Structure 1
């Protein structure tokens, strides 16, 4: 194992699969199986998942809603996705704990750092729902902050693209993929990896980020085994 403890960031949109909304069961089960394989290899794993397949807080103002209210709605969307992932993991035999940044005691535990650390030490997958519990912060920020708090070795950002490119590969066929890149180069080239708050947190704490294609079966295990998959962002 190259990494002992990891924070896996998943986008809510990725859970849609080929659908236009909601959760694709096949995609959810694939993620659960990939996570199971990594956990059974001895890696301690925590997950933060977005809610964009259900609702994005940034949509609020366009809909005439209060931004703060919209952000809380987005947090609840992440809890729904977290519950779905928890159910899929437990169905495959993996013990999990869902910790929430806002109190919803009927369905999940409140986030307490020491409790999260203890769950990881016991081999449970810890899912962090509801972001950091405050508006104006994205789930990228939640992933960076929680990774630092639990002393993770790396943030793995699972996307539908196989790394960081010089331009959007879906729009520009000449885009070049980076295998390794520094935080400084990402800043200077204005590359889209995470939102600036999240990215700066990782940079200041020298926490590496790996962006990789989570939709390809087995990629998560390859990353944790130390294979060159995706793009590594480091100091």
Structure 2
């Protein structure tokens, strides 16, 4: 408990809010690295995932590639890329690492969102004379949006947690208090950095969870009366 209080005191100290390593500056660097990496990964993974989900082809290859990418250790990959690209390409090496980390979740969210749609809905759209582009934009994309947002949510959380290693190569971010505090045995500083990263991840997760819920088409949401009836047995059994 004392260590937790010391971590809070470290975060609130005026020295942590000014200078080159101020917490707002580190937060901005962390968010910038996360946003750039996820946007690049989305530009690569989403079109491929949509093609797989729309055509039904290449799913096995996508699953194999995603599984292999998930197995790669992020820190080891970043160090390897720094050695291969050189010390003058450290930002590029870090971005490539985070992009590769985000691609599997985005790819899975893109093609599973389209695969989950009832094929009868697609056939009905074709029977009405819709083109393939109209089917994608007016039918598949809106119905697959909740699962797509789930993939984006997973990718963002993974990248937010992993961007902390960027401090090892002097790129800043919220990993800096952790990296600096470990050799100095400043455990209050280490805990404070971990708390800030965890809070950031929770806030992003809550925002995207709300967006994912709002993305469900109104026609697919259960009526409130049905949800109340399904929740009633749970509430009734709570005292037992």
Same fold (TM over 0.5): no
Length-normalised TM-score, structure 1: 0.28
Task: Choose between structure 1 and 2: higher strand proportion.
Answer: 1
